[in-house]
């Protein structure tokens, strides 16, 4: 048994400590907001926060998360920064197919927590590990800037 703190609550998980966070969330806890993309930490679809830092849950084992706080897309609606990002996403029509969006939102939220006034370069650097097959990168940048203004 591994105890994980997910979205502010402790949960016991009966899984191998080497199991990636992604599969623990999806298979053991039925939390399907975090998506599987590549399985190699290259696309960002599986992004969650570990103690506030954006990480790739497809390659991070639950043993590395024990004693730390995991935050998923499911918690963003009730999070001030996460909600601002989600509202800006809708305002700027960012989602197309939507598959990468939970990872995009999680990376953008981590960026805005660390940097309240990101430049285009800051945004590009923070979001460079998130791939959007639909190519909405300009909308993503605009939404992040808008969310930053909302939070100022």
pLDDT at 143 (0 to 100):
98
pLDDT at 131 (0 to 100):
96
Confidence bin at 104 (pLDDT 50/70/90):
very high
pLDDT at 98 (0 to 100):
87
C-alpha 51/C-alpha 65 separation (Å) is 9
pLDDT at 11 (0 to 100):
96
**Domains, the chain:** 2-74 (3.10.20.30), 76-151 (1.10.150.120)
Please tell me the chain's helix, strand, coil percentages from 3-state DSSP, rounded to the nearest 5: 45, 15, 40
Beta-bridge partners for 43: none
pLDDT tens digits for 47-69? 999 999 999 999 999 999 999 99
pLDDT at 64 (0 to 100):
96
Average pLDDT of the chain? 96
The single residue listed with the structure tokens 């954006």 is 54
Is the full-model pTM beyond 0.85? yes
pLDDT tens digits for 117-137? 999 999 999 999 999 999 999
CA pseudo-torsion sign 74, 114, 58, 61: negative
């Amino acid at each position: 048994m591994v105890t994980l703190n997910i979205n502010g609550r402790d949960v016991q998980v009966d899984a191998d400590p080497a199991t990636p966070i992604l599969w623990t969330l999806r298979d053991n806890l039925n939390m399907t907001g975090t998506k599987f993309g590549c399985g190699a930490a290259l696309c960002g679809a599986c992004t969650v926060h570990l103690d506030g830092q954006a990480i790739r849950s497809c390659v991070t084992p639950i043993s590395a998360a024990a004693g730390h706080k995991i935050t998923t897309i499911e918690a963003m609606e009730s999070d001030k920064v996460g909600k601002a990002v989600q509202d800006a996403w809708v305002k700027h029509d960012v989602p197309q197919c939507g598959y990468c969006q939970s990872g995009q939102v999680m990376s953008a939220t981590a960026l805005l927590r660390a940097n309240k006034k990101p430049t285009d370069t800051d945004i590009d650097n923070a979001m460079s590990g998130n791939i959007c097959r639909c190519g909405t990168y300009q909308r993503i940048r605009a939404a992040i800037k808008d969310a930053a203004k909302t939070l100022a």
